[in-house]
Amino acid sequence: METTLLVPYGGLRAFPTSRKPAREAASGRRRPTQKPKSLLSPAKAVIARPTRRTVYKDNWFDRLAIRYLSSSVQETAGMRSEKDGYESLTEAAIMVSRSFDAARQQEVVIESLSNAFPRFILEMIKFLLPPSKLSRQFFATFTTIFFAWLVGPCEVRESEVEGRREKNVVYIPKCRFLESTNCVGMCRNMCKIPSQRFIQDSLGMPINMVPNFEDMSCEMIFGQEPPEDDPALKQPCYQTLCMAKQTHGVNCSK
């Protein structure tokens, strides 16, 4: 005998009870156990949302950086947000996703990043830090120190590069941008893809960003090329949580 329970992360599951299966009255044989059928196909399954929303206490540097990037995005896109703090960045991202297709969204972010960072500084970093173990580890450490305001608290982890262990991975337990937007499409088109292109083109450093859409964590792997058949590009958006889809009717799954 099985009992069907509603679990908090994505649907119904069947759990066996402690009772023994009932016997057929006539034949005396056990009834075959019925396996529960999936209510949703894997491609359409509801993705879990963390139960608690993270509360951030931005310091003066965080607020300054957020305002600077948000203003750059708004200026590039020709839009204006009346919000303050991280909400202004979130609203700017939503307005861009609502107004432009995926390709243009990516270009807006790349242009915004190019405008936010002086070109000569990027060229100097690219010249002084060509791809190597030192530069990969430097970029990973630099990201955890100076970009936590954008992605949330993060830490450096190791991975194997050409048979050697390196501290070239930034692990983000819960991405601030993804949690704030609840939108897989904006994660792809306004974070993952443009960031990978910008860092590769401007700093000469390959990077693969690997988001986990179930727990909203992410890994930034410096020195690794993104796969051609990237699973993150095939993931449909959240069915009931996506802010852009539910509030603005954005078709962000494409």
CA-CA-CA-CA dihedral for 127, 129, 132, 135, to nearest 10: -160
**187 near 178, Cβ under 8 Å?**
yes
By three-state DSSP, how is residue 112 classified?
Answer: helix
Q: Which residue has the higher pLDDT, 231 or 110?
A: 110
17 band by pLDDT with thresholds 50, 70 and 90: very low
Q: According to the model, what pLDDT value does residue 222 have?
A: 98
Strands 155-161 and 164-172 turn out to be antiparallel
| H or E stretch at 161 | strand 155-161
Mean pLDDT of 184-189: 91
Tell me the pTM: 0.75
pLDDT at residue 21 tops 60: no
Q: Tell me 175's DSSP state.
A: -
pLDDT at residue 153 tops 50: yes
Give residue limits of the domains in the chain.
60-247
Q: Quote the mean pLDDT of the chain.
A: 81
45 band by pLDDT with thresholds 50, 70 and 90: very low
What gap in Å lies between CA 172 and CA 108, rounded to an integer?
24
Q: According to the model, what pLDDT value does residue 32 have?
A: 42
